[in-house]
Amino acid sequence: MAQKPSIPKGTRDFSPVEMAKRNYIFQTIREVYALYGFQQIETPAMENLSTLMGKYGEEGDKLLFKILNSGDFLHGITPDEVATTSTLKLAARFCEKGLRYDLTVPFARYVVQHRDELTLPFKRYQVQPVWRADRPQKGRYREFYQFDGDVVGSDSLLNEVELMQIVDTVFRRFGVRVCIKINNRKILTGIAEVIGAADKIVDITVAIDKLDKIGLDNVNAELREAGLSETQVEQLQPIIRLSGSNQEKLATMREVLRESETGLRGIEETEFILSRLGSLACDTAATNPTAGAATAVLANPIELDLTLARGLNYYTGAIFEVKALDVQIGSITGGGRYDNLTGIFGMPGLSGVGISFGVDRIFDVLNALDAYPKEAVSTTQLLFVNFGEREADYCLQALRSVREAGIRAELYPDAAKMKKQMSYANAKQIPFVALVGESEMADHKITLKNMQTGDQQSVTVDELINTLNA
């Protein structure tokens, strides 16, 4: 045989078992979004490069997969130009279209393009693959799905509240214990303001985040290395040592940020969100991580974490992140509030808030916890063994009733050796096998074999249906 064909590096085939698991994940998230009034949209895999370029920074432009123009893509370009033009610029001449890099820019483009048809606030979810010409490595792919939900056209913090409920409900349905971390861009801005180090906020959050690992002295040393003065390091102490319930943390921060209008607004926003979630008393660091659960709206703890500093380029208000408690893996969901989604397309002033479920990592978490419900990943429930043409005809009749009753069933299409047919049932993990030979046909019965226990019983079609539907 010739060499096996292969697929481009960083891409994946999904087998039936993987698809069943992924469908379970997608379907669960879909259902929760629908419960909250979110509607699905889809956008094309290809966008005009003019839509994509310049939206992800210089590095992002390089990571866009570009589609060669059809036909004479060299039209109007001289060999001399080819020789003297940079690769990136030539690519822009040869290519008008590129593959979607994320779901956010296409969504912004969608909102602007269809603004006359949309009623705001617009609550949309979208689950589609995106493509990035990144160097592939473990857990990083060149094609992967994103699952985003956003509300645009409303400044209300109730949207943040509902997104947290959505996150909580999704992971509750998955049976995965998580901690939701929340922060606010305005609090970070406030901290930078009061200590007078607007350009150091990332250094500060990175250093503080290491407290548990390296201890207070080393954190302080790192802050000094980052160029903070003794006074500034001193001012940061209450923030570094911030602990207790969300309410206690907010009280401390209100004091620290009393001079910063922006910072205080961040405190208020966070307090609004946490109070609606009944999570002010929540303290994930305490022995009982669900302290205050009696009044809590969420099944999972939500914790104010000032070291959470993702998306500082675009988030302007709340910032969220979700971590699995029982599996060592990075953030499995994240999001935040942004103020100017569609400004890049000439439609300013549209605020929004969104979350993105990391479905590939959630897949890994559910695998690690073996948390897939059996019925979600089971396929065929019953295989009729094929003993020959007459028996197969008999089985076809029975199959009609069985399928009408909603049972997923097959007849092995060939009268192959029993062993081969049984291997097929095993490979597909089919739990029941139906055997119909001469005597069964004469008695109008079916021999039903439970593949797990090995038990066999002689049943009518109706009894078979009742057994499988039980």
Query: Considering only residues 140-169, where is the footprint of a second copy by CB under 8 A?
Result: 142-143, 151, 154-156, 158-159, 161-162
Binding to a second copy in span 210-269, by CB under 8 A = none
Give the burial class of 249: count Cβ atoms within 10 A of its Cβ; 0-12 exposed, 13-18 middle, 19 or more buried: buried
> Whose Cβ is closer to a second copy: residue 257's or residue 318's?
318
> Whose Cβ is closer to a second copy: residue 56's or residue 221's?
56
- Least distance in angstroms from the C-beta of 57 to a second copy: 16
Report if residue 62 touches a second copy, rule: CB under 8 A.
Answer: yes
Total length of the chain = 470
Binding to a second copy in span 325-354, by CB under 8 A = 345-347
Sheet strands side by side (includes 302-304) = 39-40, 122-131, 143-152, 352-357, 333-338, 315-324, 178-184, 302-304
> Whose Cβ is closer to a second copy: residue 43's or residue 252's?
43
Spatial distance between the Cα atoms of 66 and 452, rounded to a whole number of angstroms:
51
- Please work out the total of residues on this chain that contact a second copy, with binding judged by CB under 8 A: 105
- Least distance in angstroms from the C-beta of 109 to a second copy: 5
> Whose Cβ is closer to a second copy: residue 95's or residue 211's?
95
User: What are the two backbone dihedrals, phi and then psi, of residue 369, each rounded to the nearest 5 degrees?
Assistant: -90, -5
Report if residue 446 touches a second copy, rule: CB under 8 A.
Answer: no
Spatial distance between the Cα atoms of 386 and 434, rounded to a whole number of angstroms:
9
Q: Taking a C-beta distance cutoff of 8 angstroms, is the pair 451, 421 a contact?
A: no
Binding to a second copy in span 285-304, by CB under 8 A = 297
Where does 312-408 show beta strands of DSSP type E?
Answer: 315-324, 333-338, 352-357, 382-384
* x/- track of binding to a second copy for residues 402-421 (CB under 8 A): -x--xxxxxx-xx-------
Binding to a second copy in span 30-49, by CB under 8 A = 34-37, 39-48
- Single-letter code of the amino acid located at 437: G
Report if residue 26 touches a second copy, rule: CB under 8 A.
Answer: no
Stretch that binds a second copy, among 64-72, 226-234, 322-330, 442-450 (CB under 8 A): 64-72
Spatial distance between the Cα atoms of 234 and 224, rounded to a whole number of angstroms:
11
* x/- track of binding to a second copy for residues 79-98 (CB under 8 A): xx-xx---x--xx--xxxx-
Residue selected from 113, 252, 262, 331 as contacting a second copy according to rule CB under 8 A: 113
- Least distance in angstroms from the C-beta of 204 to a second copy: 33
Helix (H) or strand (E) holding 422: helix 418-427
DSSP string, 218-231: HHHHHHHHTT--HH
Report if residue 310 touches a second copy, rule: CB under 8 A.
Answer: no
> Whose Cβ is closer to a second copy: residue 262's or residue 380's?
380
> Whose Cβ is closer to a second copy: residue 189's or residue 386's?
386
> Whose Cβ is closer to a second copy: residue 62's or residue 258's?
62
Report if residue 123 touches a second copy, rule: CB under 8 A.
Answer: yes
Q: Where are the alpha helices (DSSP H) in 136-240?
A: 158-174, 185-195, 201-208, 211-225, 230-240
Spatial distance between the Cα atoms of 216 and 407, rounded to a whole number of angstroms:
62
User: What are the two backbone dihedrals, phi and then psi, of residue 309, each rounded to the nearest 5 degrees?
Assistant: -140, 55
- Least distance in angstroms from the C-beta of 291 to a second copy: 20
- Least distance in angstroms from the C-beta of 3 to a second copy: 7
Q: 443: which 2 tokens?
A: 């008695």
